[in-house]
């Protein structure tokens, strides 16, 4: 008897589209523990990008880059329209923020933002997100946009709103779970 693998379950997520139209003035001190560094990645190797993407996004079923081949990812992450900065904590990669600059001067999108599970709960979130927001505003857009959904970290939507983003639309998307 042959066994067939059941078809993958499809998840439905409610997506909240948010935007910020004024650069925030509030700043956050660099956490003293763990020791942190935020470094711009100029020509990140694809395998390192895949590692970051999986470590941050697997629990939230991030989809788009998961289904791209290496050539497609290379074209995206090495494009002049993409900026990636990597968060390090105590010398180890702890998260990343990826900006999509392709809609300038109208907007900059925070395409991906997250902290790896091992580094969550250490007080890095607000500081790190503020860094990403400031990097986006440094590109001189009219607004900064971000999208979050019900599969993301449970605190994501409220954190974005606390940082100054306002919801502007809601939609739904379906994704295949990350196995």
For the chain, domains (ranges, CATH) are: 15-149 (3.40.630.30)
Q: Which residue has the tokens 């067939």?
A: 4
Question: Residue 172: phi, psi to the nearest 5?
Answer: -125, 150
The region that residue 43 occupies, defined by phi over 0 for left and psi between -120 and 50 for alpha, beta otherwise, is: beta
What does the pLDDT profile of the chain (179 residues) look like in tens digits?
Answer: 444 444 468 899 999 999 999 999 988 888 878 999 999 999 999 999 999 999 999 999 998 899 999 999 999 999 999 999 999 999 999 999 999 999 999 999 999 999 999 999 898 999 999 999 999 999 999 999 999 999 998 889 999 999 999 999 999 999 888 87
Question: Pick from 3, 20, 6: which is nearest to 132 by CA?
Answer: 20
Say if CB 121 and CB 105 are below 8 A apart.
no
Q: Taking the model in full, what pTM does it have? A: 0.91
Say if CB 132 and CB 97 are below 8 A apart.
yes
Q: What is the pLDDT of residue 28?
A: 86
Say if CB 147 and CB 167 are below 8 A apart.
no
Q: What is the pLDDT of residue 17?
A: 97
Burial profile 67-98: b = 16 or more Cβ within 10 angstroms, e = fewer:
ebeeeebbebbeeeebbbbbbbbeeebbbbbb
Q: What is the pLDDT of residue 103?
A: 97
Q: What is the pLDDT of residue 8?
A: 60
Q: What is the pLDDT of residue 3?
A: 43
Residue 118 neighbours by CB under 8 Å, 6+ apart: 94
Question: Residue 63: phi, psi to the nearest 5?
Answer: -120, -50
Q: CA Rg, the chain, in Å? A: 17
Q: At what angle do helices 70-77 and 46-57 cross, to 10 degrees?
A: 90
**What is the C-alpha separation between 179 and 169, in angstroms, rounded?**
30
């Amino acid at each position: 008897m042959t066994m067939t693998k059941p078809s993958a379950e499809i998840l439905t997520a409610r997506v909240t589209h948010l935007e910020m139209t004024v650069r925030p003035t509030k700043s956050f001190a660099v956490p003293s523990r763990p020791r942190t560094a935020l470094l711009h990645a100029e020509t990140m190797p694809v395998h390192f990008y895949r590692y970051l993407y999986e470590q941050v996004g697997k629990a939230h079923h991030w989809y788009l880059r998961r289904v791209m081949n290496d050539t497609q990812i290379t074209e995206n992450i090495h494009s002049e329209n993409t900026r990636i900065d990597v968060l390090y904590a105590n010398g180890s990669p702890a998260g990343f923020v990826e900006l999509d600059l392709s809609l300038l001067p109208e907007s900059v999108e925070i395409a991906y933002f997250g902290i790896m599970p091992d580094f969550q709960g250490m007080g890095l979130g607000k500081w790190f997100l503020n860094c990403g927001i400031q990097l986006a505003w440094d590109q001189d857009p009219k607004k900064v946009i971000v999208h979050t959904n019900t599969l993301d970290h449970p605190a994501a939507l409220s954190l974005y709103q606390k940082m100054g983003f306002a919801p502007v639309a809601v939609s739904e998307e379906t994704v295949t779970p990350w196995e």
